Amino acid sequence: MNGHDRYEGLDAEYRLSQAADYACAVELAALKYQAREETATDRRFFGSWQAFKRNALKTVRKKAL
């Protein structure tokens, strides 16, 4: 195992943690939208509830295990 292989493994772990973080953020935003407690940042990043459901939420839930 050379140094390059070790960095590839770390890079893959990092990408996986970023994907998990995004999925959690989307699910938290879904809870906030449903409770009508979304923030201005949520609206700016994800858009309206309908756009959020159609885009981010649908994509994340389709890829969930």
Q: Is the model's pLDDT at 1 over the cut of 60?
A: no
pLDDT digits (tens, 9 = 90+) for 5-62: 666 778 889 999 999 999 999 999 999 999 999 999 999 999 999 999 999 999 999 9
pLDDT band at 3 (very low <50, low <70, confident <90, very high): low
- The domain ranges of the chain are 21-65
The DSSP string of the chain is: --HHHHHHHHHHHHHHHHHHHHHHHHHHHHHHHHTT---HHHHHHH-SHHHHIIIIIHHHHHH--
pLDDT of residue 6: 65
